[in-house]
């Protein structure tokens, strides 16, 4: 391969890597964190995270391995997303997580957290894996 073809080949590889990254970005989002929940009661708040809104990813909370202490077992957890602002925090809406993923859409930049709003059935929620993407 002469020098010109090598340069061209390198350009194609770089282009492919950049395209791959751009295509992967919405799926992975600009940020995420994974944790777990043990014996949460309504009113309990998650950690805070900062969304810089550098992508169009929908803010989501994914649960797997859910249990609650009520007689009919885990049915759903109401999760309210809050934007942490000066003064009363800004209610972004409540989603019913049935041990799956719930989405609030692409959020403006800011600091966010979710609050356990309700549990069915019972009064305490445990989740083996909690992943928040934003």
Residue 81 found at the interface with Ca ion (CB under 5 A): no
Look at residues 106, 24, 109 and name the one whose alpha carbon lies nearest to residue 60: 106
Q: Assess 89 for contact with Ca ion (CB under 5 A).
A: no
Q: With H, G, I as helix, E, B as strand and everything else as coil, classify residue 134.
A: coil
Nearest distance in Å: CB 111, Ca ion: 13
Find the binding residues for Ca ion in span 21-50 (CB under 5 A).
30
The answer to whether residue 57 forms part of the interface with Ca ion (CB under 5 A) is: yes
Min separation Cβ 53 and Ca ion, Å: 5
Query: What residues contact residue 104 under an 8 Å CB cut-off, 6+ apart?
Result: 58, 59, 60, 81, 92, 93, 95
Binding residues (CB under 5 A) for Ca ion: these are 30, 51, 55, 57, 134
């Amino acid at each position: 391969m002469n020098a010109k073809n090598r340069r061209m080949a390198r350009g194609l590889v770089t282009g492919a890597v950049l395209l791959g990254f751009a295509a992967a970005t919405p799926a992975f989002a600009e940020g995420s964190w994974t944790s777990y929940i043990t014996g949460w009661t309504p009113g309990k708040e998650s950690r805070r995270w900062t969304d810089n809104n550098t992508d169009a990813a929908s803010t989501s909370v994914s649960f797997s391995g859910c249990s609650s202490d009520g007689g009919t077992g885990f049915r759903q957890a109401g999760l309210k997303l809050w934007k942490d602002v000066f003064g009363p925090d800004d209610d972004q809406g409540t989603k019913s997580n049935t041990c799956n993923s719930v989405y609030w859409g692409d959020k403006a930049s800011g600091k966010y957290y979710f609050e356990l709003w309700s549990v069915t059935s019972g009064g305490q929620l445990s989740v083996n894996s909690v992943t928040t993407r934003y």
